[in-house]
Amino acid sequence: MNEVLNVDLQFKLKFEFISSLHSYICRKSHRKIDLTPHWAEEIKRRITPEFAAMLDEMEINADWKLAYLLIVMSKHAETPEEVIAWLEGMTPGNLYEWFAPYVGQFPEHMGNFQSQMIKVFTEWNRQYFESCSPAVHEALKQHLADRTAEKKKMNKAEFIDDTTGGFVFDSTGGADTLLLVPQYHFQPVNLIYHFGSVLFCHYSSRIDLSDEDFMSMHDYRVLRSLAEKSRLKILRYLQDGPKPFIEIVRELKLSKGITHDHISKLRSAGLIYAHFQGENLTGYSTRMKGLEQMQDKLVNFITH
């Protein structure tokens, strides 16, 4: 963590805009996110068939990372509308120059990429995000205010851990700023991208907007994540220190897919640390803090 010179905490409407679009496009995550596949199915019924077909062809690939970059690093813009207006005013040549400090790979046809992103951003904003519940934005703003207050009480490593629920940056990959942005749509999954001097982390805010008279969705997730023998074995195996994924596979003697699913559930519950070098995940270790918090919350729920 010594390489991180600055920890920046932000929330702007454009960030949740791209998180919501990412949540829809990332089809393999629909069963993992709190919004569930029903959310994506409902959105598909609401948007036009033409736009649905366009989104169905999009993938979470190198071009999508550049789409995220347009949102994150357009520092003068705070709303989707402002990002779209800025992008419309750029030429393909301008975009090559603008991308250069952040990435080394460009779209095959910059003009086509630009036109597609303008279309996708405009239609997603018009057909979905403009009508997104204001409660989501208000909850994220309140979360930002709460986190900003907590930031003054902790050192950097503690704050990053507490905010992200278990991220450890052993190396920043040369970045000098860690930009932490809370998101609602893609929770409990997180996203990390390295853009030049900025390491961008779209982390799960663990916001629960349901009115159910029960423990929060996150707290319930923690309890459910422990109800499996292999996951308990993982926690015991990782308590001695960070281990790469392949070593966990060998220890459990399970397939990579099943092991990955177990680890994902423990990560989402905040019960293991995820160790990063830049945006690259290198290993996992047991997060005792998460287990202790779980015990306190369970006792509190039962006794009150």
Burial of 240 by CB count in 10 Å (0-12 exposed, 13-18 middle, 19+ buried)?
exposed
Instruction: Output the furthest CA–CA distance in the chain (Å, rounded).
Output: 63
CA dihedral over 136, 140, 146, 150, signed as positive or negative: positive
Determine the structural domain holding residue 246 and report its residue range. Answer: 217-303
**Final residue before a domain boundary, out of 131, 151, 170:** 131
Residue 230 within any structural domain of the chain: yes
Is 237 within a domain?
yes
One DSSP character per residue, 121-149 reads: HHHHHHHTGGGS-HHHHHHHHHHHHHHHH
The CATH number of the domain where 266 resides is what? 1.10.10.10
In a domain, 143, yes or no: no
Structurally, the chain folds into a number of domains equal to 2
3-state secondary structure 8-68: EECCCHHHHHHHHHHHHHCHHHCCCCCCHHHHHHHHHHHCCHHHHHHHHCCCCCHHHHHHH
Q: What is the pLDDT of residue 2?
A: 42
Residues 123 and 224 in one domain: no
Q: Does residue 67 form part of some domain?
A: yes
Q: What are phi and psi of 58, to 5 degrees?
A: -80, 145
pLDDT on residue 30: 93
* pLDDT by 10s per residue, the chain, length 304: 445 579 999 999 999 999 999 999 999 999 889 998 899 999 999 999 999 999 999 999 999 999 999 999 998 999 999 999 999 999 999 999 999 999 988 998 999 999 999 999 999 999 999 999 999 999 999 999 999 999 999 999 999 999 999 999 988 888 999 999 999 999 999 999 999 999 999 999 999 998 777 778 888 888 889 989 999 999 999 999 999 999 999 999 999 999 999 999 999 999 999 999 989 999 999 999 998 888 888 888 888 7
Same domain, 126 and 236: no
Residue 264 lies in a domain: yes
**8 Å CB contact between 198 and 75:** no
Query: Is residue 142 included in any domain, yes or no?
Result: no
Q: 22 and 124 share a domain?
A: yes
Contact yes or no for 76/85 (Cβ under 8 A): no
Q: Which of 112, 131, 150 is the last residue of a domain?
A: 131
- In this structure, what token pair is assigned to residue 57? 């062809």
Of 109, 131, 153, the position where a domain reaches its end is 131
